Structure formats: C-alpha cells, structure tokens
Amino acid sequence: MELTSKQRAYLSGCANTIEPIFSVGKASLTPELVMALDEAIEKRELIKVSVLKNCTDDPHEIAQMIAERTHSDVVKVIGKKMILFRQAKKNTKYELPEKRKSH
C-alpha cells in the first residue's frame, strides 16, 4: 500500500512520541534483525529504528530494504532515524486519513 503525503504526515506525528526500538549497527541488516523488525511491525504497526554511527550503509537504503523485506511502508527517514508502518489486518490502532478519490 502506497501512503499519501497526508497519511505520512499523520503517521509521522504519531511517531513523535515513540522511541526507536531497534538499532542497525555494523552488521547492517541481518536476517535475525529483519525477522525481529517484522514481528515488531506486526505487533505495533508503527515503529522507529535508528542507525548507529558504526553502520556505513545509507539510512534511506536501509529503510527501503526493511520495507521490502517486511512488506511495510517507509513513513520518513530523518538523519539516522527511520519510521516504518504496516497496517494491521484487524484491530488497527491508526485510522489513516482517506485517500482522495479521483474523478
């Protein structure tokens, strides 16, 4: 699902109060980290991840790879922090602003 700018803004605002729950370090994205991220996104829907200084990979590239591997959306990447979202199939905590209907 592709997020609209309005939905990104809404989710970004929601993420202001949450702390990063994972850090990507020197080993970058290991299969174990991707699995843990996937489980966290399943439980929380919206997560924040930080990239440590010893990680040489670009945070934008890391965010894209995580999104692809966890079937989530990158809400925003700010410096070395990224916000990821995947809406729960039921009992979602986030009511996204509606997409505009094209005529």
Per-residue pLDDT tens digits for 70-83: 999 999 999 999 99
Mean of pLDDT values over 23-42: 92
Angle ∠(21,22,23) on CA atoms, nearest 5: 135
Please check whether residue 82 is in contact with residue 74, taking contact to mean a CB–CB distance below 8 angstroms: yes
Domain map (residue ranges) of the chain:
5-85
Q: Say yes or no to pLDDT of 51 above 70.
A: yes
Average pLDDT of 31-60?
A: 94
pLDDT at 97: 82
Residues whose CB falls within 8 Å of the CB of residue 100, separated by 6 or more in sequence, listed in order: 4
Amino acid 103: pLDDT: 46
Please count the CA atoms within 13 angstroms of the CA of 34 that sit on its side-chain side.
16
Domain at 5-85, CATH from 3.30.110.60, 1.10.620.20, 3.40.50.300, 3.50.50.60: 3.30.110.60
Q: Are 85 and 45 in contact (CB under 8 A)?
A: yes
What pTM was computed for the model?
0.89
Which residues in the chain belong to E strands, given as ranges?
Answer: 22-24, 46-51, 73-78, 81-85
C-alpha of 56 from chain center: 20
